[in-house]
Amino acid sequence: MYTKESQQLDLWPFEFKGQTGTPLSFSADGFKRPVAGIVYEGGTTDSGVPLGGLGTGYLELRTDGKLGRCSIFNDICPPHTLDVSFLAVSAGEEMRLLCLDPPEGLRGSERILYWGHFPMADLQYHLDLPIQIGLRAFTPFILGDAQMSNTPVVLFEIQLTNIGSQKLSGWVVFSFPGPRAEPEESFFSCEIVSAPWSGITVRQKHSSSYALVTSAPEDVLTGSYLGLDPEAWMGVATGKVPTAVDTPGVTVAVRYEIEPERTRRIRFALAWYCPYFKDSSGEPHTHAYKRRFDDSEDVIKLVIDRWEELQRRTLAWQEVIFAEDLPEWLKNALVNGLYSLAKNTLWVISERPDNWYLPEGFFTHSESFTGCPITETMVCRMHGHFPILFFFPELERTTLHAFHHFQLRDGEIPFCFGSPTGMREPRYHCQHPLILDNTCR
């Protein structure tokens, strides 16, 4: 058993030796100069970075290493809460889930350090094994590029470093629960994919699908979701992944071997394609990303050869902020203040030639899909839409076009576009091309 006598090597994806929970400067991978942010102890916050783009839906990676809220499968208002472990690493016969408070019968991380800089989450996992693990997860979010920022994918890169004195071998496991299996949507078909990356595509009716793939060229296992079953998780350490028919969740595992003081990186990509949904009034809508993709594998094909470029472009605008002569807390706020553009936005298009939408579609920013799902209230949008106006003006134009469309003849503009109940405000008129409440999917 590892006794923690080995010396740690270079930490990745960030180097941090200060006090957690307070704004500080430190170094991080991909940046030419020190960054500014808050590194949290795992489990000390209720939420984490929403991994998603403009109107794509999002997947929350919490500070405890688990997946939290999820709206990528059109669980928009409110998002579905997963609360599941999803990553694990084995070393020989030992299996460790990369989270705190793992399912009963399994062992997890002793400590997690978490730095969120939207749209990225950087984590360091401390284990009772001679292996040092870091994770960087991000969605392409590039200021000035609305199309690329509307890509429904999360990219995960895991670095394993052998800090022991002997060769290590084992498996890196990514197990994802998939969409909720509603009775009328219970049919799922799974397809093993091997090119250009290895993994699984899960297809559902109405053209919906998602894909979980890895860049590893060989020694890849695929199977069904491991869930809370300790025997299933432990079985991966021996090269066994359970398989099931017509289940929404999947597992992809990659075998590794690392010599002492050596490092290996493994990449996973999770892409989704759920182009159609209905609001709570039953009105159908189409996500804007449908114009660029035909399915989730199309998304994978776009991003696999552009990983470094997408990461570099996403980090570039953050580096501009970090280079400014500003307090650390303000730099952190300027970066992470954009998180709402992943959590609370919709970007829809119309396939009807007689619709009032502009060619770019219709972009909306809600107050909160988890708390108060009212769309574009005048008292809030004046603050929430400044980033859209500055960085994605073509989307701001679609919102202003909607205000113009619903303006009354006497000049009054709508107070908002929708409310949870669809009721009118007593003093202001409310139009609702998108009515969102807890029945919206």
Give how far the C-alpha of residue 140 lies from the chain's centroid of Cα atoms, to the nearest Å. 10
Longest Cα–Cα distance of the chain, Å, equals 79
User: What is the residue extent of each domain of the chain?
Assistant: 14-277+294-313, 344-441
Q: Which of 36-50, 56-70, 77-91, 275-289 has the least mean pLDDT?
A: 275-289
pLDDT band with cut points at 50, 70 and 90 for residue 1: very low
- Nearest 5°: CA angle at 317, between 315 and 323? 95
What is the total residue count of the chain?
Answer: 441
Distance CA 237, CA 116 (A): 30
Residue linked to tokens 């990983």: 307
pLDDT in tens, 334-349: 999 999 999 999 999 9
Is residue 416's pLDDT more than 70? Answer: yes
Distance CA 436, CA 71 (A): 13
Options 1.10.3720.10, 3.80.10.10, 2.70.98.40, 3.40.50.720; CATH of 14-277+294-313: 2.70.98.40
| Amino acid, res. 240 | K
| Residues ≥6 apart with Cβ < 8 Å to 91 | 129, 130, 131, 168, 169, 170
Is residue 430's pLDDT more than 50? Answer: yes
C-alpha separations of 147 from 140, 144, 288 in Å: 10, 9, 9
Mean pLDDT across 144-166 = 97
pLDDT in tens, 81-133: 999 999 999 999 999 999 999 999 999 999 999 999 999 999 999 999 999 99
What percentage of the chain has pLDDT greater than the value 90? 73
Range list of β-strands (E), 185-228:
189-193, 198-203, 209-214, 220-224
Please tell me the predicted confidence (pLDDT) of residue 222. 95
- pTM of the predicted protein model: 0.93
Cis preceding linkage at 393, omega within 30: no
Mean pLDDT across 214-237 = 93
Is residue 376's pLDDT more than 50? Answer: yes
Please tell me the predicted confidence (pLDDT) of residue 426. 38
C-alpha separations of 433 from 4, 227, 330 in Å: 59, 38, 36
Strands in 14-15's sheet, in edge-to-edge order, are: 14-15, 24-28, 35-37
Q: Which of 47-56, 65-74, 242-251 has the least mean pLDDT?
A: 242-251
pLDDT band with cut points at 50, 70 and 90 for residue 440: low
